[in-house]
Chain A
Amino acid sequence: MDATSFVTFLSAALFVIGALGVLLRRSALLIFMSVELMLNAANLAFVTFAHRWGQLDGQVTVFFIMTIAAAEVAVGLALIVTIFRTKRSTSVDELAQLRG
């Protein structure tokens, strides 16, 4: 195995752990952090592939994904704080108002 494959498999493992975190964790904050892990796994893959192809495109893309993550964090944390103010909990299980 060469270094590129090694890091690709590493990023795949990180992505799966992130996805598992989203599915298994119950706190909105933890779910959101797991999403960040998934995005980070994608960034790792992009850097590796940019190296593989000898291009800068993959690296530039990572730059954009970081910006997307920042924008999501701004809105997401504002939402979590807002909902906490209303009901004093961050657990998704208590989002019971809407169900049926």
Chain B
Amino acid sequence: MTMAEWALLVLLGALSLASALGLLLSRNAVYAALFLVLNFSVGAVIYLLFNAPFLAVTQVAVYAGAIMVLFVFVIMLLGAERLAPAENPPGLAYQRPLAIILAVALLAVAAWALLSGAQIEPSPSVAPRPDSSPQAMGMWLFGPYLLPLQVVALLLLAAMVGALVLSRKS
């Protein structure tokens, strides 16, 4: 990687972390959704750096586009953008210590991994760059991954039937 690419990657990493923290701390649901859109878009650029152009486009179209638009739409529809300040909820008090333990444990693991010099090797040998064009992806989806493709088709059908059952007037 060149110096310029590294600089870009570090910048993207910082943006990604900042937008995730924005989601975690935001007091307004619309802001939170927009932070998430930013996070997804930054992810798409990282995909481009890692030889995944098709996924980058899908990420922007499906995630940042369709899914997040749906979120914003629902927030607006329900008028739920203002979030109540966080108090200690009575029944879910166990979650706060759990969250702190989780955060500390993961920080510890990360620190240990960095300090022990654990490197995730680029690959055992110099990894070849596979063809990741939309055409190649299509060949994979309808080749070795034919069964999973059929299963997600069924999954989408189930989701569609489910959404209709939940929203149709009885």
Contacts and interface: CB of A to CB of B under 8 A. Distances in A.
B98 to A, nearest CB: 6
Contacts of B95: 23-24
Interface string A61-89: 01110111111111101111110100000
A30 to B, nearest CB: 6
Contact of A75 (B9, B16, B123, B162): B162
Contacts, number: 222
B129 A34 contact: no
A63 B148 CA distance: 11
B127 A34 contact: no
Given A4-B122, A93-B92, A24 B20 contact: no
Contacts of A96: 91
A96 B43 CA distance: 38
Interface residues of B, number: 84
Contact of A92 (B13, B71, B92, B103): B92
Contacts of B78: 80-81, 84, 90
B122 A82 contact: no
Interface in A1-58: 1-10, 12-14, 16-21, 23-27, 29-30, 32-34, 36-37, 40, 43-44, 47-48, 50-56
Q: What is the interface of chain A mostly: helix, strand, loop, or mixed?
A: helix
B20 A56 contact: no
Contact of A70 (B10, B66, B99, B122): B66
B160 A77 contact: no
B1 A3 contact: yes
Contact of A50 (B16, B52, B58): B52
Contacts of B59: 43, 66
A27 B27 CA distance: 11
Interface of A: 1-10, 12-14, 16-21, 23-27, 29-30, 32-34, 36-37, 40, 43-44, 47-48, 50-56, 59-60, 62-64, 66-75, 77-82, 84, 90-93, 96, 99
14 contacts: A2-B122, A4-B122, A23-B95, A27-B83, A29-B74, A34-B24, A37-B39, A40-B63, A51-B51, A56-B140, A60-B140, A62-B52, A91-B84, A96-B91
